[in-house]
Amino acid sequence: MVGLPRRAMIFGRFQPFHRGHVAITEWAFNSLGVDEIVFLIGMASENYTPRNPFTAGERIEMIRLSMKDHGIPLESVITATIRTLETSIGSVYYVLSYVPKVDFILTRNPVISKIFLDAGIKVARPPVFNREEWRGEVIRGLIASNDDRWKRAVTPSTAKYIEAIGGVERIRYSMGKD
């Protein structure tokens, strides 16, 4: 019998999925030696708002496009979604029921780290990758301001996808810019 793959989970909103997420993924493959990454898309039940403009399905598409743009095989990527949750140790067990077995979670959030550690899940803290530009709030702000610099913060296919689905207009509208 073949052993189970070594898996790490990244739990986030991915609004939008950007180059920082890609950098963490590449770091996990190259530095931690994982075989697969599980992207757990949080707040899947909220969309079309200033903070969460994209649907869960759109975020899954952005992950897939970004992986393809970076030559990361899709068979090494798993996506799952979860509704908005409270932050508690009980939520950890609920979260883990939505994904295949993971060896650890990748997070820099101290509260998330603590509750997963308390539940017996290992935590790996990825380095910071260009956080000033590669952050969802910054990217959404650039989009709302009609500043094309947002396109450098996401992969080319993701930028085209956001434009194709009317994401620019959606963000501008939700932030009262149109």
**If we measure between CA atoms, which residue out of 129, 50, 47 comes closest to residue 81?**
47
Tens-place pLDDT, residues 100-148: 999 999 998 898 899 889 989 999 999 988 888 888 999 999 999 999 9
Domain count within the chain: 1
Residue 80 lies in a domain: yes
Please state the rounded mean pLDDT for residues 30-50: 93
Residue 165 lies in a domain: no
CATH, residue 113: 3.40.50.620
Tens-place pLDDT, residues 58-114: 999 999 999 999 999 999 999 999 887 666 667 888 888 889 999 999 998 898 899
**If we measure between CA atoms, which residue out of 107, 97, 83, 94 comes closest to residue 28?**
107
14-18, 91-95, 168-172 — which is least confidently predicted?
Answer: 91-95
Residue 89 lies in a domain: yes
Judge whether 62 and 136 are in contact, CB under 8 Å: no
Residue 104 lies in a domain: yes
Q: Which domain holds residue 77?
A: 7-130
Instruction: Supply 114's token pair.
Output: 């603590």
Residue 168 lies in a domain: no
Tokens 């790996």 locate to 124
Residue 178 lies in a domain: no
Residue 49 lies in a domain: yes
Give CA angle at 25 (24, 27), nearest 5°: 60
